Amino acid sequence: MTVHRYIPNSDPEVKKELLDEIGVKDPEELFAAIPERIRFHGPLDLPHGMSEHEVRRLIEGLLSKNVKPDEMLSFLGAGCWPHYVPAVCDEISSRSEFLTAYTGDAYSDLGRYQALFEFQSMIGELVAMDAVTVPTYDWATASGDAVRMAAIASGRREILVARSTSPDKLSVMRNYCGRLAEIMPVDYDHQSGQLSLEDLKEKMSPNTAAVYIENPTYFGFIENQGERISNIAHDNGSLLIVGVEPLSLGLLTPPGEYGADIVCGEGQPLGLHMSFGGASLGFIACRDEEPLLSATGHRLVTISTTECRGEWGFTYVLPERSMYAAREKAPSITGTGAALCAITAAVYLSLLGPNGIRELAETIMQRSNYAMKRLSEIRGIKAPLFNSTHFEEFTVNFGGRKTIRNINQALIKHGIQGGKDLSKEFPELGNTALYCVTEIHTKEDIDRLAAALKEVLK
């Protein structure tokens, strides 16, 4: 082995110095604890190492097979949304002091604690809740944690979930719930898409821990009945959990104001690139009450003071709840989460400010509503399928002639990626796709989509 550029002590002279000091000749002696009967004597079936230049060529070569939005106009959302990421977000998220740190105390990692507290504070303002946790992996896992919290805090075993929720999310919720609670779908009104209050009332029972709704829903429209759902849940002693897309809260009433007890959502729209669905954060907020906070295993950064007047300090609240301390008694899993994404989201929200987020939400809503109008002018298209107010995503129904798969294949020939095919997830919607339009889509882009669809459906 030649001296490796990442391994300073691979230099034979240094290595010998270390081995002499340890008192062994052959480094393999140090592996003597691994019994011979299970020892691997290699070599590993891997290629030879590469120079930096070779690795760059290899990976750039592979990545060149991907097609990105400036090469293809895309209307995909469904849990990962295309938004503009300001250069400042990338600047801060690539600061190696944040990027390469892990888990020091606030004495050495003050920056992380303060940025996380600021993240928690800004999410708290968006959703109107006083308590926010250090975030987890993504919205789906945050919803899993939220329903666990509700089951543990209430001691009840059934979670009623709006059936307009993405089936993938239901699957994650079920994997998170174990034997703790059962996930039971509540129907939606087939005209408006709004939660069926009749079905909700029918399914409420003394064992209902919580009702989970989303706003905007997976289908993209605003659920108007927040307060009524909240009343129905609370009258039954159940909790209300609301899942949110955060930018919509520039315009929409925060769930904390219509009775939510727990709020969760996806932080990817807050300055994080899509990265094939790989850069996300799931935030969780709740009422600032100990029984609820005790039912989450996630870290909670509180602001504090220090011995020196005028200094902010930070520490963790109720650290004994977390899996690190409580092991099998912990209410949920916790571990390496999404801190760098949270720091980036704090940067993004600081840039947006109260006016920016309102204007951004308005632009998104105008553009998506324009897209719905344009598409619904095309013969054979119904957009949206539900007669409710939509934010940035909407359902597009293509009637019976062509499948979404066929339509999307044809759109690719026009350099357009169509919306997500919903026909398998929600067969009752027929040939329906979920389209997403944000601030990055211009009028011209939308007109281009309309023209291409007209052509494809001819």
Partner 1 sequence: MTGYRAVTWNEPLVYQLGRKGRRGSAIPAAEEQLKVKVGDVLSKIPEAMRRREPANLPELSEPEVVRHFIRLSQQNFGVDSGIIIGQGTCTMKYNPKINEALARSPKLTEVHPLQDSSTVQGILEIMYRLGKLLCAISGMDEFSLQPRGGAHAVLTNARIIRAYHELNGELEQRNEIVTTVLSHPCNGGSPAVAGFKVITLYPDPETGIPNVEALKAAVSKHTAGMTITDPYDTGIFDPCIDEYVKIIHEAGGLVAIDQANANSLFGRLRIGDVGADLCHFNLHKSFSTPHGSHGPGSAPIGVRRHLSKFLPVPTVEFDGKKYRLNYDRPHSIGKVSGFFGVIPAVLRAYAWIMTMGAEGLHETSEVAVINNNYLLGRLLKVRGVALPWIKSHPRRLQEARFSLQQMKEETGVGIDDVNRRIVDFGIQKCFTSHEPWIVPEPFTPEPPESTPKEDLDTFAEVLRQISQEAYTNPEIVKEAPHNCAISRIDQSPSRDSKKWALTWRAYLKKHK
Query: Applying CB under 8 A, does 50 fall inside the site for partner 1?
Result: yes
Please identify which residue in the block is written with the tokens 């805090």.
153
Q: Which is nearer to partner 1, 44 or 155 (CB)?
A: 44
12: number of Cβ within 10 Å: 11
Tokens linked to 308: 């020196």
How many residues bind to partner 1 according to rule CB under 8 A? 209
* Cβ 241 vs Cβ 255: under 8 Å: no
| Contact map string, positions 134 to 173, toward partner 1, x by CB under 8 A | x--xxxxx------x-------------------xx-xx-
Nearest by Cα to 237 from 154, 162, 180: 154
β-strand partners of 265: 244, 283
Residue 115 interacting with partner 1 (CB under 8 A): yes
- The gap from C-alpha 326 to its chain's centroid, in whole angstroms, comes to 26
The 3-state DSSP class for residue 382 equals strand
**Do the beta carbons of residue 85 and residue 441 sit within 8 Å?**
no
Instruction: Look up residue 332 and give its DSSP letter.
Output: S
- Under the binding rule (CB under 8 A), the answer on residue 307 touching partner 1 is yes
Nearer of residues 202 and 310 to partner 1, judged by Cβ: 310
Contact residue for partner 1 among 192, 207, 304, 423 (CB under 8 A): 304
The reply to whether 394 sits near partner 1 by the rule CB under 8 A is: no
In this complex, which beta carbon is closest to partner 1, that of residue 77 or of residue 186? 77
Residue 184 touches partner 1, criterion: CB under 8 A: no
Distance between CA atoms of residues 218 and 394, nearest Å: 9
CB nearer partner 1, residue 239 or residue 422: 422
Specify the residue, 207 or 302, whose C-beta has the smaller distance to partner 1.
302
Q: Measured from the CB of residue 101, what is the shortest distance to partner 1 in angstroms?
A: 4
Nearer Cβ to partner 1 (202/415): 415
* Residue 430 CB, nearest approach to partner 1 (Å): 20
Q: Phi and psi of 160, rounded to 5°?
A: -95, 125
At 422, list the tokens.
Answer: 């919903």
244 binds partner 1 (CB under 8 A): no
241 belongs to the binding site for partner 1 (CB under 8 A): no
Least CB distance to partner 1 at residue 198 (A): 20
**Counting contacts by CB under 8 A, is residue 273 touching partner 1?**
yes
With 0-12 / 13-18 / 19 or more C-beta atoms within 10 angstroms meaning exposed / middle / buried, residue 451 is middle
Please count the CA atoms within 13 angstroms of the CA of 127 that sit on its side-chain side: 32
Task: Tell me, residue by residue from 407 to 426, as one string, x for binding to partner 1 by CB under 8 A and - for no binding.
Answer: -xx--x----x--x------
Tell me how far apart the alpha carbons of residues 387 and 192 are, in angstroms, rounded to a whole number. Answer: 5
Q: Does 60 engage in binding with partner 1 (CB under 8 A)? A: yes
- 202 makes contact with partner 1 (CB under 8 A): no
Piece of the chain touching partner 1 by CB under 8 A; list 104-112, 154-162, 237-245, 396-404: 104-112
Q: Which of residues 322-381 bind partner 1 (CB under 8 A)?
A: 323-330, 332-341, 343, 346-347, 349-360, 362-363, 365-367, 369-370, 373
Cβ(396)–Cβ(435) under 8 Å? yes
DSSP letter, residue 247: G
- Return the residue of 278, 399, 401, 455 that touches partner 1, per CB under 8 A: 278
Q: Which residues neighbour 59 within 8 Å (Cβ) at sequence distance 6 or greater?
A: none
CA angle in degrees (0–180, nearest 5) for 185-191-193 = 40
Select from 58-66, 154-162, 204-212, 449-457 the region that touches partner 1 (CB under 8 A): 58-66
Contacts of partner 1 in 19-48 (CB under 8 A): 19, 21-22, 27, 30-35, 37-40, 42-48
